[in-house]
Chains A and B, each alone.
Chain A
Amino acid sequence: MTAAPEELYEVELQVNGVQRTASVPARRLLSDFLRHDLGLTGTHVGCEHGVCGACTVIVDGRPMRSCLMLAVSARGHEITTVEGLGTPGDMHPVQQAFRECHGLQCGFCTPGFLTTVAAFIEENPSPTEEDAREAVSGNLCRCTGYQNIVKATVRAAEIARERRA
């Protein structure tokens, strides 16, 4: 017996300011949609059950787990992935801060931290170290030991303030 082909759903959404469309089965996770259907492999996938945070993207301004969202549910929404934060020549404050503070080693967890922290410093432009720890508490890093990530988070807010000044 051959299984009937899965029904496809047209998913149209905005990713990093660009309108994108693809036809996918309902069970396609947003993380896989970004990586496989749109070719945006900056979003990483670690655990697929919400624990590691590597897949975090910004949905309508708020960071969310892309592995815990169906692509069909994201229809019509605005997504920002790590690719949308900045470029090597024009880094987002968060990217600059992670580089300056050595907030990464292997880089696997980094896209999730960058998106989480980018949204966080919008909401809290002058975080304390404690605020920074709370903000990144849902992201796992197996390399750095977190100290430099916390520093980078505080520094990112500082860079953003400097740039606004």
Chain B
Amino acid sequence: MKPSPFAYSAPESLDELLRVLADVGSDGKVLAGGQSLLPILNMRLAAPSHIVDINRLPGLAFVQVDESGVRVGALARHADVERDDEAHRVLPLLRQALRLVAHPVIRNRGTTVGSLAHADPAGEMTAVLALTGGTVELARLGSTRTVGAADFFLAPLESAVQAGELAVSAFFPAFPSRTGTAFVEVARRHGDYAMCGVAAAVTLDADGAVVAARTAYVSVGPTPTVVDLTETVTGRPAATADWGPAAELARASVEPESDIHASADYRSHLTGVLTERALRAAAGAAA
């Protein structure tokens, strides 16, 4: 199907864009990569009266890296972030997760910040922002604010981005040293939205014993749930740790729902299995 009619603007400066967004208010919709918005428009699940295309804004396609973490601009495509070797060095979880986001061709156009703003409970990058404790920079005409991951995802497909606001960039902090990460998921087909996905970060001490173990989940709750599993494994040598109790605690911490792709029971089962798998891989990467 085709979108219904809308008015269109494609401002070429941030100032002008924020002015347009302020003018159109809740009638307006930001268009970034369009890899979620265009299907919605084509299927006529939404019919915004004004599309504000941000693709002509200068200076927002950046991936900035320093030792503290990775900052991603609103026009950096998933593929730009995925291919950035510096970003991979500082925060391997980004590439680990991005490889599971849709297919390469979708990643060429879809933006990482857009997928955060979209707040799909199956979106891998929401779990990455949640697990890293990252932030999103929002701007509206005359003011800016920074929202932490814990306050950014409000409900399925609902983020803290309000009418009139642009998400300008997202910051993903690096983990402490001796931290390993992994992202594992099970989807019906490679590249599909996951039925359950787990991002894990495990930190070891100098002797290889676990100091911290945390996970974040997609597709098993309305927003990316972060679970601290440290108490179940703390002090154990990573090489011989029993991750079973961590998996149990993880299962008890999520409340998945059933849909046509998977039952709640199956998702809960996957939460346990994938938690163990992700923790083991993350611990292996930390060692």
Residues in A neighbouring B6, C-beta threshold 8 A: 26-27
Is the beta-carbon distance between A68 and B7 smaller than 8 angstroms? no
Partner of B10, one of A29, A64, A72, A134: A72
Partner of B42, one of A9, A67, A134: A67
> Is A50 positioned at the interface, with any CB of B under 8 Å from its CB?
yes
Partner of A73, one of B3, B31, B79, B103: B31
Is the beta-carbon distance between B109 and A68 smaller than 8 angstroms? yes
Is the beta-carbon distance between A25 and B34 smaller than 8 angstroms? no
Is the beta-carbon distance between A73 and B55 smaller than 8 angstroms? yes
Q: In the complex the two chains form, what is the Cα distance from A53 to B105 in whole Å?
A: 9
Q: In the complex the two chains form, what is the Cα distance from A56 to B35 in whole Å?
A: 13
Q: In the complex the two chains form, what is the Cα distance from A63 to B103 in whole Å?
A: 11
- In the complex, per-residue mask of B173-191: 1 if CB is within 8 Å of any chain A CB, else 0: 0000000000000000011
Given A27-B3, A48-B42: A137 and B8 interface contact (C-beta under 8 Å): no
List which A126-154 residues lie within 8 A (CB) of chain B: 134-135, 137-139
List which B121-154 residues lie within 8 A (CB) of chain A: none
- In the complex, per-residue mask of A30-60: 1 if CB is within 8 Å of any chain B CB, else 0: 0010000000000000001110010010010
Is the beta-carbon distance between A65 and B3 smaller than 8 angstroms? no
Q: Count how many chain A residues have C-beta atoms less than 8 Å from C-beta atoms of the other chain.
A: 31
Q: In the complex the two chains form, what is the Cα distance from A62 to B105 in whole Å?
A: 8
Is the beta-carbon distance between B109 and A65 smaller than 8 angstroms? yes
- Interface core residue of B4, B8, B102, B190 (most chain A CB under 10 Å): B8
Residues in B neighbouring A9, C-beta threshold 8 A: 8
CB of B101, distance to nearest CB on chain A (Å): 11
> Is A7 positioned at the interface, with any CB of B under 8 Å from its CB?
yes
Given A6-B5, A63-B108: A138 and B191 interface contact (C-beta under 8 Å): yes
Interface size class of B (residues with CB under 8 A): 20 to 34
Report A's interface with B, CB cutoff 8 A.
6-7, 9, 25-27, 29, 32, 48-50, 53, 56, 59, 62-65, 67-70, 72-73, 116, 120, 134-135, 137-139
- Nearest CB in chain A to that of B191: its residue: A137
Q: In the complex the two chains form, what is the Cα distance from A27 to B3 in whole Å?
A: 6
Given A9-B8, A25-B5, A138-B105: A68 and B39 interface contact (C-beta under 8 Å): yes
Is the beta-carbon distance between A72 and B53 smaller than 8 angstroms? yes
Is the beta-carbon distance between A26 and B7 smaller than 8 angstroms? yes
Given A25-B5, A27-B3, A64-B109: A70 and B34 interface contact (C-beta under 8 Å): yes
Is the beta-carbon distance between A50 and B106 smaller than 8 angstroms? yes
Residues in A neighbouring B7, C-beta threshold 8 A: 7, 26
- Interface core residue of A68, A120, A135 (most chain B CB under 10 Å): A68
- In the complex, per-residue mask of B1-27: 1 if CB is within 8 Å of any chain A CB, else 0: 111111110100000000000000000
- Interface core residue of B4, B41, B43, B79 (most chain A CB under 10 Å): B41
Is the beta-carbon distance between B104 and A50 smaller than 8 angstroms? no
Partner of B108, one of A6, A7, A32, A62: A62
Q: In the complex the two chains form, what is the Cα distance from A96 to B1 in whole Å?
A: 34
Q: In the complex the two chains form, what is the Cα distance from A6 to B3 in whole Å?
A: 13
Is the beta-carbon distance between A49 and B31 smaller than 8 angstroms? no
Q: In the complex the two chains form, what is the Cα distance from A32 to B43 in whole Å?
A: 15
5 contacts across the A-B interface (CB closer than 8 A): A29-B42, A72-B10, A73-B53, A116-B105, A137-B190
Given A26-B6, A26-B51: A138 and B104 interface contact (C-beta under 8 Å): yes
CB of A19, distance to nearest CB on chain B (Å): 19
